[in-house]
Amino acid sequence: MTSPPRLLLKLSGEAFAGEEGAFSPQALRRISQQIVSLPDVQIGIVVGGGNIIRGARSPWLDRVDADSLGMLATVLNGFALSTYLEGAGKETIVQSAVVTELTDPISPRKARKALSEGKIVIFVGGTGNPLVTTDTAAAVRAAAIGADLVAKGSNVAGVFNADPAKDKDSHLIEELSYDEFLAARYGVMDQVAVEICRENKLPIIVFDLSDPDALGMICRGERVGTLIH
């Protein structure tokens, strides 16, 4: 696998949380330093909002209202990440699918220009629609900016043949085709997102964001986590 000149990084919101609550300065600093230290690669980022609210699992709101709150949660996460990236010396812009006075609207053309200038583009607000996950937003943004790879970083090491939290005999699957992933309906990534990546010939890597070497390995074209292609 060759190194990606333009990478779309999907970060789960849970990666930002810690003992302090929804935002862990230590986690944000660690993630930002990993991103800033990457070799010469253009980076777009889509952030989730699961450290604040998960629409699909909210017991006290209907799904549409919960997803609306979730989209706003990704705006908060995007600003938190932007602050730490800027503090680490990297210029960023934040584009949002939901209108706020603090963000730019989604513009693939402006995003591509910013990426070519060496800026990091952070996409927030999901797709702007309820009932759609930020995995799908990541696939859409990746296709729109002409990314070479979608890398999903979360708290799992990749795709397993069974739930590793429940089955001690489960094992990591290092490589899958799009069709194999969709047929097995693995829960680690949204099916719609994988469909979009398949249609646009966008390979996906699912990896453990807590591994300090994983992002660097991905950008050097080395194998890590699970490759879906």
Q: What is the SS3 assignment for the chain?
A: CCCCCEEEEEECHHHHCECCECCCHHHHHHHHHHHHCCCCCEEEEEECCCCCCCHHHCCCCCHHHHHHHHHHHHHHHHHHHHHHHHHCCCCEEEEECCCCCCCEECCHHHHHHHHHCCCEEEEECCCCCCCCCHHHHHHHHHHHHCCCEEEEEECCCCEECCCCCCCCCCCEECEECHHHHHHHCCCCCCHHHHHHHHHCCCCEEEEECCCCCHHHHHHCCCCCCEEEC
Query: Which pTM does this prediction carry?
Result: 0.93
The band of 3, judged by pLDDT with boundaries at 50, 70 and 90, is low
Number of domains in the chain: 1
Q: Does 37 map to a domain?
A: yes
User: Is 107 in contact with 93 (CB distance < 8 Å)?
Assistant: no
User: Is 183 in contact with 124 (CB distance < 8 Å)?
Assistant: no
The pLDDT of 19-39, averaged and rounded, is 91
Q: Does 78 map to a domain?
A: yes
Range of the domain at 217: 6-228
pLDDT at 54 over 80: no
pLDDT at 192 over 80: yes
Q: What is the CATH number of the domain that holds 115?
A: 3.40.1160.10
Q: Does 1 map to a domain?
A: no
| Highest mean pLDDT, choosing among 32-41, 48-57, 163-172, 197-206 | 197-206
Q: Does 127 map to a domain?
A: yes
The pLDDT score that the predictor gives to residue 170 is 87
Task: List, for residues 112-153, the tens digit of each pLDDT value.
Answer: 999 999 999 999 999 999 888 999 999 999 999 999 999 999
The pLDDT score that the predictor gives to residue 19 is 86
The pLDDT score that the predictor gives to residue 147 is 97
The pLDDT score that the predictor gives to residue 2 is 61
The pLDDT score that the predictor gives to residue 164 is 78
